[in-house]
Amino acid sequence: AQPCFHFVKLSGLLLASLFAWYLGYIFAAHVPQESLSTSIAYLQDIGKKPVLKAPLPKRQKCDHWSPCSPGSYAYRVLSGGGKEKLAKICFEDELLISEEKGNVGRGINIAIVNYETGELTSANFFDMWEGDHSEEMVAFIENAPQGSLLFMVTHDDGSARLKSNAKKLVEALGSKEIQNMKFRSSWVFIAAKGFKLPDDIEREKINHSDSKKNRYNGWPAEIQIEGCIPRNLM
């Protein structure tokens, strides 16, 4: 019975092969050669076509995740981190204070912008570790014209030689953290002179040095604020 079973199985395979060959012969005989070649070429081209990829997201001003409305200014203020990562102030996609510009330094860095034009008026940093620069900072802020935006950010330490009158001046501009500034605190703040900023924009942030939590040896992690300032506040 076993040899008979193998013979039947072999016969079936032979018949199936002959039937498949016959169908292929009939197909080739009735399908035009041009259509057959086109179909084969199409199948071959499928593997050659490039894979479509999603487009990269468009870069926004000051590296925001989402764009500001056309009637707003974009800003981003980043504090320093340790000694190596320097502070940055970006406004309308222009770096006002940065390592690249060569105008960032230890202490409190301040950029003043004309609110109506969006143009930089002046920028400077005030070392609060060596020398007596607190009064210079007071004069710099007081000399800012009415209708100015002020961006302030620390690098390294901004508190050691910061005097009480300077703190009161910054507090009068709306700061809620300047009186809490400690040694090597990371601090960022934006203010307006001669007009009021909306309550819903991010204006200030502070991060104190803590030996148990510091990201860098002796310094806390850098912090940042960013947002959009409407252009119709004046």
How do residues 203-218 score in pLDDT, each as one tens digit?
999 988 766 776 677 7
Residue 201 is predicted with a pLDDT of 93
Q: What is the mean pLDDT of residues 103-123?
A: 97
Six token digits for residue 53: 């990829």
Q: Is pLDDT of 187 > 60?
A: yes
Taking the C-alpha atoms of residue 149 and residue 161, their distance in angstroms, rounded to an integer, is 25
Which phi and psi (to 5°) does residue 126 adopt?
A: -130, 110
- 192 bridge partner residues: 149
pTM: 0.74
Residue 209 is predicted with a pLDDT of 77
Q: What is the mean pLDDT of residues 11-27?
A: 60
Residue 17 is predicted with a pLDDT of 66
Q: Is pLDDT of 224 > 70?
A: yes
Taking the C-alpha atoms of residue 204 and residue 198, their distance in angstroms, rounded to an integer, is 13
Q: Is pLDDT of 229 > 60?
A: yes
Confidence of residue 140 (pLDDT cuts 50, 70, 90): very high
Residue 13 is predicted with a pLDDT of 63
Confidence of residue 124 (pLDDT cuts 50, 70, 90): very high
Report the C-alpha dihedral over residues 181, 182, 187, 192, rounded to 10 degrees: 20
